[in-house]
Structure 1
């Protein structure tokens, strides 16, 4: 008896990938190097601690608050991918001070408004990866991701071509979102 997906497509067992169970999986073994931190800079310099000392344009800072700041992700999942970061070097969300937690939440709301205004985003992925095993690229400094999404924005390029298509340079995206951020104050 051959297993099938819920829509009736036959599943063929593949050596080394487990038993067919109705799910189509895309294996990305190259991600394990990222998760393990291979090639990550060493020497104790945390990029989230260095960025605040840079000019906004150079550090891709969108907005600054009293205890947190908003910055574009250098390796975005989608155009406009923002991270909300406390200035204080701290790894765990549970250890944030009340002021940091509050301002992080307010900055997240503001990021949603600014991204809607700047790009007409239809939806968002918002969240944190706490710890290396959870996929945090910089686990030693907590940060929240705000990723804008649009209907149909998932396409074949990342899957087949190993390429992300971004419609603007990061500096242009930063300028656009920073302007929208000020307009939503």
Structure 2
């Protein structure tokens, strides 16, 4: 019986360069996603009860706050969340709507100064069918974008290379947030 070629054995080096991202499995498997509208299982309801660095909170307003996305598309990917556990943009009060929008505007200004992106994706996915990973708690994505930041990796390998740790990005953004002027 012939021995198997070395390239067929698990863990044996071959010609492929691999980026292993096992941390993504928690997202794929649904960890931190509330199973229903139960506020006690909602990560967006739990985060404000933690210290800012522990909860990855960048800034706190009166009715809304800004937090790093635990599963970012790009470095500096922020989420704007109301403190109140509501699912729909139409459920916000006028006061919450104004602060929700102003925090998104300031997030863009701060990220512009800290990271110098070429553009942004802003998005609110309403309902699981529309792509909301946590449909029970409203949140808006603020994603900085750079020319050429997306390549074949997310499409072919379901992998995104991120050059900055969440904690490091949070510290830079939070420091700048504290000193940037409002419009």
Tell me the TM-score normalised to structure 2 length: 0.78
Write the mapping of 1:79-118 to structure 2, written as runs, cut at 5 A. Answer: 79-118=75-114
| 2:171 is the alignment partner of 1:164 | no
- Unpaired runs of 5+ in structure 1? 1-33
Residue of 50, 57, 64 corresponding to 2:53: 57
Q: How many residues align?
A: 151
C-alpha distance 68-41 of structure 1, shift in aligned 2 (>3 A): closer
CA distance in 1, matches of 2:49, 2:109: 26
CA distance in 2, matches of 1:139, 1:158: 23
CA distance in 2, matches of 1:113, 1:38: 32
Q: Secondary structure at 1:110's aligned position in 2?
A: helix
Deviation at 1:126, TM superposition (A): 0.5
- Unpaired runs of 5+ in structure 2? 1-26
Aligned partner of 2:118 in structure 1 is 122
Aligned partner of 1:150 in structure 2 is 146
Deviation at 1:183, TM superposition (A): 2.5
CA distance in 2, matches of 1:77, 1:139: 18
CA distance in 2, matches of 1:84, 1:46: 15
C-alpha RMSD over aligned residues: 1.8
Tell me the TM-score normalised to structure 1 length: 0.77
Aligned partner of 2:5 in structure 1 is none
Deviation at 1:159, TM superposition (A): 2.1
Aligned partner of 1:69 in structure 2 is 65
CA distance in 2, matches of 1:38, 1:169: 22
CA distance in 2, matches of 1:98, 1:171: 33
Deviation at 1:163, TM superposition (A): 1.4
